[in-house]
Structure 1
């Protein structure tokens, strides 16, 4: 969900046009796994300082269309305490919960 300061941008016609044209350009497919995409991800995270700069917020070079799982991996692997596909069990041991193939393979 968009942060309060970002809502006017995400409701703008400029964003809606940019989003639509980008998704069409990648055939509605996740750019990492090839499944149907869902979220247009900004590679350079938007902030209150850069959101109104079209070179950042509307630049196709800084966008990536992702499915829900790949988008979650982007955020959880980058900012989570453990790598995607791993968790701590009841004994505090790190275990694999799901076999995960790296998105780049």
Structure 2
């Protein structure tokens, strides 16, 4: 969830346009796969260098592709929190893009 100081930025047209362009860029490179694990499609664009009240108005930090990363939900949470989410299962996909369901515990 966005920190209070960053909420206006993440709702801005500049960020939405940048995010859309970055996802299109990643899709043109590798189909939009997670930049960390490369196993599943990306889910969220985030900043490698975290935004702060001091750098959020610097477009070189907040809007430049060098500082963006397109990760799946699991990798994003691992990177941001340094831990896995209990109970969250990483999905795998077959050659046709269909999810491969994990075995049930029953």
Confirm or deny that 1:32 pairs with 2:49.
no
Question: What are the residue-to-residue correspondences of 1:63-82 with 2, within 5 Å?
Answer: 63-77=68-82
CA distance in 1 between counterparts of 2:73 and 2:45 reads: 10
Q: How many residues align?
A: 81
Q: Where does the alignment leave 5 or more consecutive residues of structure 1 unmatched?
A: 78-83, 86-105
Root-mean-square deviation (Å): 1.8
User: Could you report, residue by residue, the CA deviation over 1:1-31 in whole angstroms, capped at 9, with x for unpaired residues?
Assistant: 1111111100111101100000111113211
Confirm or deny that 1:6 pairs with 2:6.
yes
CA distance in 2 between counterparts of 1:51 and 1:2 reads: 12
CA distance in 2 between counterparts of 1:71 and 1:9 reads: 20
Q: 1:50 aligns with which of 52, 55, 58?
A: 55
TM-score, L = length of structure 2: 0.70
Q: Which residue of 2 aligns with 1:21?
A: 21
Q: 2:65 aligns with which of 46, 60, 63?
A: 60
Q: 1:29 to 1:2 in 2, by over 3 A?
A: same
